[in-house]
Amino acid sequence: MSGICGWVGRADRALLDAMLAAIEYRGDQTDTEVGEGAAIGYRWWGGRPGKSPGLHRDGSHVVTCAGTLAPPVPSPAARLLQRLGAGSYADDTLATLDGAFAAAWWDGEQERLTLLRDPFGVRSLYYTELDGVFYFASELKQLLVIPDLPVEPDPAALHKYLTFSFVPGEDVPIKGIRRLLPGHVAVWQAGRIETRPYFTLRESIDPALEEQSVAVRRVRERCQQAVADRLNGEQEVGLFLSGGIDSSGVAVWLKEAGVRPLAFSLDFGERSVEREQAAQVAAHLDLPLTFLPIQGPELITPFWDLVWKLDLPFGDPVTGPQYLLGQAARQAGLSAVFNGEGGDQLFGGWTNKPMIAAELYADLFGRDSREERYLESYHRFYGLEDALYTPEFAAIVGGPGQRRALLAPYLGEDAAAETFLNRVRLADVALKGSQSILPRAERLANAWALDLRVPLFDRALAETAFSLPPTLKLRGASEKHILKLALQKQLPSEIVWRRKFGMSVPITDWVLGPLAGLVGELLGPAALARRGLFREEYVGRLRRGEPEPGETRRRRLGEKLWALAMLEAWLRVFVDGRGRRPASVPA
Amino acid sequence: MKCIRCGHDSKYKERSNQTCPRCNGRFAFEPRQGAKLTDQAFQNAIDRVSGDGKLRWGAEHLYYEVARRLRPRAWFRTRNSQIGGAVVGAAGLFITYEMGLLFLVGYAIAGGGLAVHQYRRARAATIGLDRTAFSGMLIAWERAHGRPKGLIVRPEAPAQSRPRRVLESDLADYSFDRAVICDRAQTVDLLLANNFHFENNCAVLSVEGYPPGPFETVRTMLKRNPKLQVFALHDATVEGCRLARRLATDPTWFAGQVSVTDVGLRPGQAGPFQGLWLPSPVPNVMPENGIKPAEAAWLGKYSLKLAAIRPDQVLKRLFRAMNRKPEDDDDGDSGSGGGSGDGDGDDDVIEDHDSFSTDASADDGGADSFG
C-alpha cells in the first residue's frame, strides 16, 4: 500500500498531482511538498497502522516513505531521517534496516535527493531523467504521465523477459527508465546519480549451527520474530495458505504470536495439487479457511485491470489466481495479508535439484555452462529465440552474454558463497525472489488495498539462512530440511515430510480452453504482424496446443503462451496506452 | 529425384556423378544404382527421429527408423496391391469364362501361394535391414550432407580436450528423488543428451558404470535418499530383463534399501515392434532371476532394443512411468494392467507393464512434481 513520487529540478506542480492520481488505488490520502528545486508526493490509506501519516518535514529535510518498517514504527519516514542523520550517514546506520519500503529524502540545504529501497525489493522505485529534471516514482505508470517523455519499448529488456518471464536487473522495458535495485541506495546531486548497495546477502557458515538442534532453535526463533515484526496491531489479518510447508509455517508462527489468521486457498478442481493439504493444515491449526474455486473464465473480466495493476510484465500464470485471491481477502474486510513466499529461496526449495543434476553431468557432452542451465531452468524461451523471434526483433535485442552477466555475481567464481547450493540460492533470492515474486505479490495485494507481509523475506532470517551448513537445507533429497525440523512438532507429519508438489496453475487447460479467445486476440496472426516481435509459425503452434517434440510437461506450453500474452497486453497498456488505466480491451 | 538442397527435380540421365544438375550438390543415394532410399526419404527419417531437429538421438535410433521405412507393408494395404487384386480378380473371371473351372482352381492356388508369401514377408519377426548396410548409408549421408543435427557423438577424451570444472565440495553431499538405471550406455546418452536428468531431477546411470566420471559420486549420492524411486530401463534381452532384480538384490546397488520399478522393455511389450526384433544371441534361457517362463521362451528366440522406440516417445513414456501415482497400480490386473510383483514373490521389484506399451503425450504427466 501507499506510493511516492517526485522530482528534482523544475516541473509543473500539476504533474505531481497527475503522478499521484495514477496510483489512486494506493490510498485515499495525499500529501505533497513542492519547492523551488524539488517536489515530493505521497499517497497512503489513512488510519492504517505502521504507515507514515504524511510527509515528514524537518527543517530543510522532507522525507517520504511508502510502506512499513520491520519491526513497525508509527512513522517510517521520521525513523528513516533519524537513522540516516541530518546531513550525512554511514553504512552502519542501515545495517539492520528492514521492512517493505521505498523512500525518498530531500535535503534542501545540500540540494540532494536520496532514494532507498527495502532489502529484498517488496517495494519498487523507478527513476528517469528528462530535460535536466530527475523524476522518481513507486510505479512505472506514474512516470509515464510526464509530458513529452518518450515511451519506447527496450528490446534488450523484452529479450530478458522472454527468458525469465519477468524483467530482471535495473532494466525496465521502456527506454530511459531505470529501477533502483533492492537493498540499494541512490543519491542524486548536482545532476549525477550514484547507486550502491547497503545490503548484500552473502554466505557465512556459522560453525555453531553445525549442531542441528542449535540450528533448528535459531531458525525457529528467527521465524517467530520475523512474523511478530510484521504485525502492526491489526485486529485481523489474512493468510494465503497453499498447503505447502512455507505458508503452513507462517500460519503456525502467527498462531504462536496470538493471531488467528483468516486463510485463503486456491481451488483448481481436479487440477488442484495441494488443496487437501491446505484443508488439513487449516483444520489442524483451527483456522477459518476459504477456498476460491478458479476454472479459468474468471480471469477474463479482470484481465486488463490485472495487467495494469502489475505495472511491469510478469509472465507467471500465478498472477491471475493471486489477483482473485486478493479480491477474496478484501471482500472479507481485511487490510493486511501474509504469505509464505521466500522459503524456497532461503532454505533450498526444489530448484536446487535440477541444477545439481546438471552440474554433475556437465562435462559429459560439453554443452551448456552453469549460467546457461540456470537460464534454461526458467523454461520460457531461452534457446528458442530462433524459433520465436522475427529477424527484425532478433537484430535489436543486443549482443550475447547480457543475460548470463546478470548471474555472474551469484553463480560465478567470485560469488558471495562458496557452496554450490548457496550460490544457486543467492541467484534465486536476487532474481526470482526480489525481481519477480515479491514485487508482483505486492502489486497484486495492493490491487485490493491490502498490505502485504512476507515474513520469510526477513533480513535477519535470511542472514541466518545463509549461515547454515547447506546440508541442513537439502538433506539428501529432503528440501528445506531445517524448516521441516523446525515445524515437525507443530504440523502433521504427512504435511511436513511429504514429497513436494509445487503449486501448479492449470494454465494450459485455460489458454487452450476458456481463455483461448483472449489469447487469440492478443497473439493471433494480425496482432503478431502488427507488433512484429514474434513468428506466427511458432506462436500458432503453441495456440493450437502442439508441444515441442520431447516435451514431457503439458504445463510448459500454457506457461509459454501465457508469458507471450501478458507481454503483448503489457505493451498495449504501457507503450501504446502510456500506462493509462484501460477502460476496455485495448486493440 | 528431388535435390533436398535446392528442390530441383532431375532425371537420372541428368545426374552425372550423383550430383544435382542445378546446384551441383552431391546426392548421398542413387536409387537407380541400387540404393534403397532417396536422400529425401533419408532426410525424412532423420526429421522423424530428431523431432524436426529439436531432439538429440543416436545412430541406433536412425537405424530403426530407416528399417521401419524399408519394412515391407502387408500386401493388402498397398494401393498397388489393391489395383493388382482387382486385375487378378478380373483375370480369374476371364479364365473361368474362356478355359473352365479347372484352370480357375489352378490359377487360385498359384495366386494364394503368392499372397501367403507376401503376407509372411510383411509379418517377418526380425529386422530386415543389415546393420553394416545401414552404417554404409550413414557414412554416405555424412559425406554428402555432413553430420546430421542432433546426432549424439560422445567426446572421445573429454578430460583432455578441456579442463574439467572444479566442483564445489558440497555437491556430492545431496541426493536425487529418482534414478533411472539403464542396461546400456547408449540409453544413458539419449537421456542425458536430451536433458532428462535436468528436467526430472533424476540420476541416470548404466549398470555397468557409465558415465565413468560422475558414476561413483552419483551412485553414492543415491544411497542418501531412503525414499529414492528407482526405475530400470532396458532392452528386451536376457540381461535387460534381469536388470531390475539385479539392482534390487545387489548390495553395491539397492539391496534392502528401496524397491525398483521395471518399466521395460520386456517381451510382453515387444508385440508392436514385430519386424524390428533381433535374433536372440542366447538360445536357451532359463526362467529365473526375474524372467518368467513365457518370457524365457521368447528371449530364447528374439531380443528387442529400446532404440526401436523413437526418442521423443522414450522420453515421454519414461516421464509417464515416473509420474504414475500409486493408485494407478491398483487395477488388480497384474498381466496387462499396472504394476505388480514379478511373480517370484519378490516385493522389491515392481513391474510397470503399461507405461512403455503405448504412445505417450505431454498430457500424460498429470500433476507433475516440481521435484
Task: Write out pLDDT tens, residues B268-295.
Answer: 999 999 999 999 998 899 999 889 999 9
Q: Rounded to 5 degrees, what angle do the CA atoms A486, A487, A492 make?
A: 150
Res. A110: pLDDT tops 50: yes
Calpha distance A364→A35 (Å, rounded): 65
Please give the Cα distance from A281 to A289 (Å, whole number).
10
The answer to whether A362 contacts B165, with C-beta atoms less than 8 Å apart, is yes
Chain B residues whose beta carbon lies within 8 Å of the beta carbon of residue A557: 362
Q: A586: exposed, middle or buried (C-beta count within 10 Å: 0-12, 13-18, 19+)? A: middle
Lowest mean pLDDT among A105-114, A463-472, A492-501: A492-501
Per-residue pLDDT at A215: 97
Per-residue pLDDT tens digits for B307-363: 999 999 999 999 999 988 655 544 333 333 344 444 444 568 999 988 888 887 655
- Give the C-alpha separation, A419 to A357, whole Å: 15
Task: Tell me how far apart the alpha carbons of residues B231 and B202 are, in angstroms, rounded to a whole number.
Answer: 10
In a domain, A540, yes or no: yes
* Run of H or E residues at B152: none
End residue of a domain, out of A197, A230, A249:
A197
**Is A552 contained in some domain?**
yes
Are A111 and A72 within one domain?
yes
The one-letter code for the residue type at A525 is: P
* Cα A173 from Cα A276, distance rounded (Å): 40
Q: How far apart are CA A201 and CA A416, in angstroms?
A: 8
Amino acid residing at A198: Y
Q: Is residue A179 part of a domain?
A: yes
Element (H, E) at A306: helix A303-310
User: Cα–Cα distance between A282 and A290 in angstroms, integer?
Assistant: 10
Radius of gyration of chain A (CA): 23
pTM: 0.90
Cα–Cα distance measured from residue A215 to residue B66, given in angstroms and rounded to the nearest whole number? 60
Mean pLDDT of A550-560: 89
Residue A382 lies in a domain: no
- Is B349:B290 a contact under the CB 8 Å cutoff? yes
B216 touches chain A (CB under 8 A): no
Residues A254 and A193 in one domain: no
Q: What angle do CA B48, B54, B56 make, to 5 degrees?
A: 85
Alpha carbon distance A356, A424 (integer Å) = 9
Q: Does B175 touch chain A (CB under 8 A)?
A: yes
Query: Phi/psi class of residue A524: alpha, beta or left (left: φ > 0; alpha: ψ in -120 to 50)?
Result: beta
Nearest residue to B309 via CA among B61, B100, B87, B70:
B61
The secondary element (H helix, E strand) that includes residue A291 is strand A289-293
Cα separation, B249 vs B260, in Å, equals: 10
Q: In what order do the strands lie in the sheet with B229-233?
A: B202-206, B178-182, B229-233, B260-264, B349-352, B339-340
pLDDT on residue A295: 94
Name the helix (H) or strand (E) containing B177: none
d(CA B146, CA A190): 62
Look up the ipTM and state it. Answer: 0.89
Q: Which three cell numbers stand for residue A414?
A: 567470485
Residue A500 pLDDT class (50, 70, 90 cuts): low
Give contacts of B182 with chain A, Cβ < 8 Å.
none
Residue A88 pLDDT greater than 70, yes or no: no
Nearest CA in chain B to A546: B362
> Is residue A164 located within the same domain as residue A287?
no
Contacts of B176 in chain A (CB under 8 A): 353, 357, 477
| Chain A / chain B CB contacts < 8 angstroms | 151
Q: Does B77 touch chain A (CB under 8 A)?
A: no
Cα–chain center distance at A581: 21
**Cα–Cα distance, A193 to A127 (Å, whole number):** 10
pLDDT band at B121 (very low <50, low <70, confident <90, very high): low
Q: Are residues A235 and A289 in the same domain?
A: yes
**Domain extent for A241:** 207-347+436-496
Whether residue B171 and residue A356 make contact (CB cut-off 8 A), yes or no, is yes
Q: Are residues A480 and A511 in the same domain?
A: no
Contacts of B52 in chain A (CB under 8 A): 549
Name the phi and psi angles at B287, rounded to 5.
Answer: -80, 80
Mean pLDDT for all residues in chain B: 84
| Strand stretches in A304-422, DSSP E | 336-338
Yes or no: say if A242 and A461 are a contact pair by the CB < 8 Å rule. Answer: no
Kind of pairing, strands B178-182 and B202-206?
Answer: parallel
Query: Using CA atoms, how far apart are residues B353 and B317, in angstroms rounded to an integer?
Result: 11
Question: Which residues in chain A have their CB less than 8 angstroms from residue B200's CB?
Answer: 552
First to last CA, chain B: 51
Whether residue A65 lies inside any domain: the answer is: yes
Residues A526 and A491 in one domain: no
Q: Same domain for A41 and A107? A: yes
* Domain assignment present for A525: yes
Mean pLDDT of A329-340: 96
pLDDT tier at B123, thresholds 50, 70, 90: low
**Which CATH number characterizes residue A460's domain?**
3.40.50.620
Average pLDDT over residues A92-119: 92
pLDDT at B333: 36
Compute the half-sphere exposure of residue A146: CA atoms within 13 Å on the CB side of its CA.
26
Whether residues A179 and A283 share a domain: the answer is no
- Domain match, A69 and A154 both: yes
Q: Would you say residue B367 has pLDDT above 50? A: no
Distance CA A584, CA A527 (A): 17
Q: Which of A242, A249, A259, A194 is nearest to A223 (CA)?
A: A249
With CB atoms and an 8 Å threshold, state whether A357 touches B316: no
What's the mean pLDDT when you consider all of chain A?
93
Beta-ladder partners of B182: B206, B233
Portion 266-295 of B in contact with A at CB < 8 A: none
Contact B168/A at CB under 8 A: yes
Instruction: Mean pLDDT check: name the lowest of A55-69, A357-371, A419-433.
Output: A357-371
Chain segment B181-198, per-residue pLDDT in tens: 999 999 999 999 999 999
Residues A175 and A66 in one domain: yes
Mean pLDDT of A553-577: 96
Compute CA distances B240 → A521, B208, B225, B234, B337, whole Å: 52, 12, 25, 5, 21
| A295: region left, alpha or beta (phi > 0 left; psi from -120 to 50 alpha) | alpha
Query: Which of these three, A149, A169, A197, is where a domain ends?
Result: A197
Q: Is residue A367 in some structural domain?
A: no
pLDDT of the residue at B341: 44
In whole angstroms, give the CA distance from residue A144 to residue B41: 57
Are A34 and A169 found together in one domain? yes
A555-570 and A155-164 helices, crossing angle to 10°: 150
Q: What is the mean pLDDT of residues A288-315?
A: 96
The whole-angstrom separation of Cα B36 and Cα B33 is: 9
SS (H, E, C) A207-246: HHHHCHHHHHHHHHHHHHHHHHCCCCCCCCCEEECCCCHH
Q: Residue A389: which of A195, A243, A278, A539 has the closest Cα?
A: A539
Q: What is the pLDDT of residues A248-265, one digit of tens each?
A: 999 999 999 999 999 999
Distance from CA of A159 to the nearest CA of B (A): 22
Question: Across the interface, which of A358, A478, A550 has its CB nearest the CB of B315?
Answer: A550
Per CB-CB distance under 8 Å, the chain B contacts of A354 are 197-199, 201
Q: What residues have CB less than 8 Å from A175, skipping those under 6 apart?
A: A150, A152, A153, A154
Do A164 and A289 share a structural domain?
A: no
Q: Report, as an integer, the average pLDDT of B235-255.
A: 96
pLDDT in tens, A120-161: 999 999 999 999 999 999 999 999 999 999 999 999 999 999
Contact A477 B370 (CB under 8 A): no
Taking CB atoms and an 8 Å cutoff, what residues of chain B touch A420? Answer: 167-168, 170-171
Cα distance from A79 to chain B (closest Cα, Å)?
42
Q: Which pairing describes strands B260-264 and B302-303: parallel, antiparallel, or unpaired? A: unpaired
Cell of A56: 515528514
Question: Is the CB of residue A160 less than 8 Å from the CB of residue A169?
Answer: yes
Which residues in chain B touch residue A388, judged by CB atoms under 8 angstroms apart? Answer: none
Which amino acid type is present at position B360?
A: A
pLDDT exceeds cutoff 80 at A284 = yes
Final residue belonging to a domain, choices A148, A179, A197: A197
- Whether A105 is in a domain gets the answer yes
Count how many domains chain A has. Answer: 3
- Chain A CB within 8 Å of residue B223 CB: no
CATH code of the domain in which A130 resides: 3.60.20.10
